[in-house]
Structure 1
Amino acid sequence: MRPEPRDAPTPEAVASLQRRTLTVVVASQVLGGAGLAAGVTVGALLAQEMLGSDRLAGLPTMLFTLGSALAAFLVGRITQRAGRRVGLGLGFAAGGLGAVGVVVAAALGAVPLLLVSLFVYGAGTSTNLQARYAGTDLAAPDRRATAASVAMVSTTLGAVAGPNLVEPLGVLATSFGLPALAGPFLLAAVAFLAAGGTLFVFLRPDPFLVAKELAEAADGAVDGVVDGAPAGTDGAPDGARRTVPAGVVVGATVMVLTQIAMVAIMTMTPVHMRGHGHDLADVGLVIGIHVAAMFLPSLATGVLVDKVGRVPMAVASGVTLLLAGITGAVAPGDSMVLLVLSLALLGLGWNFGLIAGTALIVDATTPATRARTQGTVDVLIALAGAGGGAMSGVVMAGSSYATLALGGGVLSLLLIPVLFLTRRSAPSPA
């Protein structure tokens, strides 16, 4: 069954719907940003407290990024069939339920429940990231990065407020008889459920379904057949070998490498800081600035990606992440200034890479397969984050935070040779 069928809208109607879509996505992202901050800020500390081991402090990041991988896959498939409204709404709802489970696990001291709940909580973090694609569905080709950036920058308010509310949320949690570190997950539960509700109720007409209708009308599609080939084959005849577009490969590689570098360093920074005598307020400040750097520059980044180009901004991502790693490696453990600078550069480099990579993916796909491809790519991003989070604790326990930070920065330089592929084979925006 095909949901929400309608006649092909006029260009004026499409422009109006794009503005409405961005408004709804902005509202949901403000809420979703507050939800994702909980795992980033206190996930490792909660695991350290409940498991009693620094070596396992990266486990929460691994779990909720593995959960986000599964969610990215499912949300992409659901969206391809039923649209953004249903896919994103269900993803946020699952994340909210996972946050509730984390709170209950912390209250009961139940480690197995904590691990399962962190896995489910990952659905919210993945969905928050996938919402950026909703802003691009009806955007003009030369405005795709800018449209994605609007969705991302709106995450800033909630994502920055969350880490800086760690202490008052901790007080609230203890007033309910809960561990202080469960406080941010109380906020996450409310925020994710509210974000999902906002999208499910207000994202009508669904922008992805409208984009599919427009593409089918332009290609002369009839009853799921595009240019004489079954829908979903990208126009390739039956039996033809389908290849992944080079732009998808390059865009995915950019986002995967930036995710590994960012997650590995970010995950262990709170543990590193607590080991050098910093309190939760200091941790919240550093992570809050980091998250602000991840999302706040998005509008400027989106314009640069559209105007300067996808490849130059991806190169800038690799260089910025290297600077972040070097700064973190040389920073004394008690230096708030250098830790703030390192984490700010880390967030900015990730921002450059994610928006450039997102634009490359959208440029290289069509609505017939776009949401499914986007979901698959976000699975790879989530798995990369899981690997980075899991290995970060092992590297830090076996060596030092400086080694971890420098290693993450050097890894990001692998972006540059990969990007040469785009010079020959990545398609132009269309």
Structure 2
Amino acid sequence: MSNPSFSRSVSNRITKTLFITQAFFGATQVAAFTVVPILSAQMADSESMAGVPMTVAFLARSLAAYPIGLAMDRWGRRAGLSIGYLSSMLASITSFMAVLGHSFFGFCIGGALSGVARSSAEQARFIAAEIYPPDERALIISRLVFAGTISAIGGALLVPPSGTWISQFGLPPMSGPFAVGIGLGLTALILTQIFIRPDPIILAQNFKSVNETHEDDLASRSIRDVLRIPNVKYGIMAMVIGQFVMTMLMVITPLHMNHHNHGTWVISWVIMAHALGMFGVSGITGRLVGRFGQNAVIKMGVIILIASCIIAPISPQFIPLAFALFLLGLGWNFCFISGSSLLSNALAPHERGRIQGINEMFVSFSAATASLATGIFFDMGGLILPGIIGLGMSIVLGGYSLLYTRTMEKKETPVAAW
């Protein structure tokens, strides 16, 4: 029999470690993202190519998601996370060298390695959730997502000083974020190896969800059977479309601002506002889910995404863009945490690595599509076209949410007796 107090203390230590390592990893991503679209357009000598390295990153993230999820099921969660943080280090090294050599191809390789790292890091919220009881998982997920607040602030604030620091050595200022990323990736890797013990997959056996009552039936569920579960479908849909809309506007905003003569300092503050929307209110989101349920919070997220897509193209000035990008992050946050909670509660421990890997594959492919398309749409019609596409996809999610509500209401309606 497991010792509840021991399990709780170990779960808390692992969660704190996951929080810190996610903050370091996220800071690397935020700092790099601030300069990636600008560097991409410069290296390729074409603004329509600005989203290509990000697209490569999302595609690599999509392709790596299932293998990493499978590895986490077979070899443990610590091994999968370590693969991710090692890939993050290699991504920073490769991107740094590509900037020095003005190599667009090398920059894309760095993007691919970054995507592999992201596919692993995205599992962290599920790893934290599985080592707590089912009724606490939405709140735990929200706490892990909140780590992005530190990433948002730290990552954005790293850009100007890292550029100043690296330029002292006669190197391009925009290579600074990648140099800092090498150290952050190494730190995350070391912390994971030391403190993620015992492996969370072992602790997860102590906590059963309401869907894990019949172990024999769960053991025989195929991937197709799991993906047909209404909560699984809806959770994945919320995350996939939320990611698409967010990526469509987020990726191109730095280039849009660069067109209007905003410097990297101002751009980094807008990205910080966006990241604060993504992560800063996560604790509140977890409580909203606990009080009103995942479906209601996803509906709120849809409304906020629609508002963001309308506001973003209106003005190129700092305040309207910062507000629009904050709303964009907030709408994503509502869909992301609610969808993650729906998915986590619907799965057994031995299914989570694979199915959550498949979810990550869908989310990443959605992001890759949006990242590639947004540069093309922006080249055709400025920020208005990406805004219109994002608006349309938000409406699609809203429609699916209403369909889900109606389906669940029918299931809960008792059949009249004859």
Q: TM-score, normalised on structure 2?
A: 0.92
Please state if 1:73 is matched with 2:66.
yes
Runs of 4+ in structure 1 over 4 Å off? 213-216, 218-221, 425-428
**Correspondences of 1:242-391 after superposition (within 5 Å):** 242-244=225-227, 245-331=229-315, 333=316, 335-391=317-373
**Cα 1:424–1:13 shift into 2, 3 Å:** farther
For the residue of structure 1 that corresponds to 2:225, the secondary structure is: coil
**Cα 1:116–1:425 shift into 2, 3 Å:** same
AA in 2 matched with 1:303: R
AA in 1 matched with 2:42: E
CA distance, structure 2, for counterparts of residue 320 and residue 214 of structure 1: 34
Give the deviation of 1:368 after TM superposition: 1.8
Please state if 1:188 is matched with 2:181.
yes
AA in 2 matched with 1:358: S
CA distance, structure 1, for counterparts of residue 365 and residue 179 of structure 2: 26
- For 1:51-85, what per-residue CA distance to the aligned partner results, in whole angstroms no more than 9, with x for missing partners? 11111001121011112223322221111112211
The match for 1:205 is 198
AA in 2 matched with 1:187: V
CA distance, structure 2, for counterparts of residue 199 and residue 417 of structure 1: 41
CA distance, structure 1, for counterparts of residue 62 and residue 186 of structure 2: 19
- Tell me, yes or no, if the aligned pair for 1:258 and 1:349 is still in contact at 8 Å: yes
**Unpaired stretches in structure 2, ≥5 consecutive residues:** 413-418
- Tell me, yes or no, if the aligned pair for 1:173 and 1:180 is still in contact at 8 Å: yes
| Match for residue 137 of structure 1 among 121, 130, 133 | 130
The match for 1:3 is none
For the residue of structure 2 that corresponds to 1:165, the secondary structure is: helix
What's the C-alpha RMSD, in Å, of the aligned pairs?
2.3
For the residue of structure 2 that corresponds to 1:368, the secondary structure is: helix
For the residue of structure 2 that corresponds to 1:55, the secondary structure is: helix
**Correspondences of 1:155-174 after superposition (within 5 Å):** 155-174=148-167
> Per residue, is there more helix in 1 or in 2?
2
The match for 1:26 is 19
Please state if 1:104 is matched with 2:86.
no
AA in 2 matched with 1:312: A
Worse-superposed segment, 127-136 or 365-374: 127-136
- Tell me, yes or no, if the aligned pair for 2:133 and 2:207 is still in contact at 8 Å: no
- Tell me, yes or no, if the aligned pair for 1:247 and 1:425 is still in contact at 8 Å: no
CA distance, structure 1, for counterparts of residue 183 and residue 165 of structure 2: 14
**Cα 1:72–1:176 shift into 2, 3 Å:** farther
- Tell me, yes or no, if the aligned pair for 1:67 and 1:123 is still in contact at 8 Å: yes
AA in 2 matched with 1:272: H
- For 1:143-176, what per-residue CA distance to the aligned partner results, in whole angstroms no more than 9, with x for missing partners? 1110001111122213322122212111222223
AA in 1 matched with 2:404: L
Give the deviation of 1:199 after TM superposition: 1.5
Please state if 1:12 is matched with 2:25.
no
**Cα 1:353–1:215 shift into 2, 3 Å:** closer
Give the deviation of 1:16 after TM superposition: 2.1
AA in 2 matched with 1:40: F
**Cα 1:413–1:241 shift into 2, 3 Å:** closer
Give the deviation of 1:89 after TM superposition: 1.4
AA in 1 matched with 2:15: L
Q: TM-score, normalised on structure 1?
A: 0.89
CA distance, structure 1, for counterparts of residue 358 and residue 388 of structure 2: 29
For the residue of structure 1 that corresponds to 2:122, the secondary structure is: helix
**Cα 1:109–1:74 shift into 2, 3 Å:** same
CA distance, structure 1, for counterparts of residue 8 and residue 387 of structure 2: 44
CA distance, structure 1, for counterparts of residue 213 and residue 254 of structure 2: 55
Give percent identity, aligned residues only: 28
Give the deviation of 1:114 after TM superposition: 1.6
**Cα 1:364–1:422 shift into 2, 3 Å:** farther
Please state if 1:402 is matched with 2:395.
no
AA in 2 matched with 1:275: H
- For 1:314-358, what per-residue CA distance to the aligned partner results, in whole angstroms no more than 9, with x for missing partners? 011111001001111222x2x111011100000101111100000
AA in 2 matched with 1:307: R
Please state if 1:421 is matched with 2:404.
yes
CA distance, structure 2, for counterparts of residue 73 and residue 182 of structure 1: 31
AA in 1 matched with 2:231: G
AA in 2 matched with 1:402: I
**Cα 1:359–1:282 shift into 2, 3 Å:** same
The match for 1:233 is 220
